[in-house]
Homo-oligomer: A and B are copies of this chain.
């Protein structure tokens, strides 16, 4: 049964939307809206006015035009796995969920290009590409659920982005639905958009503030001919970080270089995903090389040397595809395993210069101790992209308060170490207030002005990315107190 729509919802809009996409594809029932109240950022619960599920570009366009005419804001949502709150939509806001826009429209193996709807799941595109010996490189940890549309919005990365780069490197064309329901084609048809004013690159990472991608053209790569995967066990995260730094300093370019700290190892080993990593280890480093087979042994040998020099107590290597999966298991399941320990996890996404990793990690653990929190660190060591995972229970108000304070302090110390506030999860609502730490007032004003070009009435994902005046003032105050160097 449909519940009455909230007071803010214009009475004529509902039947209009139902007409456009079919009655079953407009959700206003509070019980069904529940699943749309948060994304991967579980500290926030915002209830949208309605959720609409179009299937085609034409339907999406008509929906956006109708919502615009009703003067309501609109938020696009893929799988809702985002970690910065980009898909959150509050009172009186309409969510366009791309769940039904999940077709791979074209896959051209010769020119290595795919054209997809935004709701296509990352791993599904990967599977389709694999049938032609190709892969879609960006591999967020949520790739079995997250969508290409969400990846574009957040400019997502993943473990293998150390070698292959993030989403923006792979998007060559976009069909974008703008605020009023107009459609603009940016780049595309396999053409390299880098030659002129690059609006494709600008749209990638714009977090739904410019418009909604209705079709996305991406570049595919050949699946590497071979892999060498190592897992090195260390007594401390400092030693593992030292090995990672040494590997990069030797001029090696691993496809992935990932660290799990002791807390994360124990979480995994005590779960059903146990990967056989010693439970008393201080850290594990997963190193993967890929490419043509001949060079891989040399690369792996050099990485092994670096690990031994850094005091690795054990180094495993994979010789088969099954062994490779096993070495990755701990890293890939760490997030899920932590979910067993606490019902909620806040994942930070700061980056720091690689050489600052050991010091910053030590500081993060001091913050954990100060606020009596469990913090697990599983992160992309190769590009200095930290993902401290703060475990908590959102029903415990005191713990939530401590998590928020700890989160702020972690952000501050990363920025103070020369880092930035987001590596691959976007700004959303969670990192918004930190924007003025890394972007000056003129740059923020330019961002705002560019946003207005595409979304003059600020109806597309309002309140995301750009900080409020109060948030800027808060950071100015923090800076004045010497919290940030």
Which residues of A are in contact with B by a Cβ distance under 8 Å? 110-111, 133, 155, 165-166, 168-169, 182-186, 189-192, 194-199, 201-202, 204-206, 209, 222-225, 251-253, 291-299, 301-302, 349, 351, 353-355, 383, 418-424, 426-427, 435, 438-440, 442-443, 446-447, 449-451, 453-454, 465
Contact = CB atoms under 8 A, between A and B. Distances in A.
22 contacts: A133-B251, A155-B194, A165-B165, A184-B440, A184-B442, A185-B440, A189-B438, A190-B353, A191-B418, A194-B205, A197-B202, A197-B209, A197-B450, A198-B202, A198-B205, A199-B443, A199-B447, A224-B251, A292-B298, A295-B295, A295-B298, A450-B453
Contacts of A111: 353-355, 418
Contacts of A418: 111, 189-191
A108 B75 CA distance: 42
Nearest to A223: B251
B251 A182 contact: no
A163 to B, nearest CB: 11
Number of copies of chain A assembled together = 2
A292 B292 contact: no
B197 A451 contact: yes
A168 B292 contact: no
Contacts of A190: 353, 418
Given A198-B204, A294-B299, 8 more contacts: A168-B194, A195-B422, A197-B202, A199-B446, A294-B297, A294-B301, A295-B298, A446-B453
Contact of A419 (B191, B293, B451): B191
Contacts of A426: 195-196
A446 B199 CA distance: 8
A139 to B, nearest CB: 16
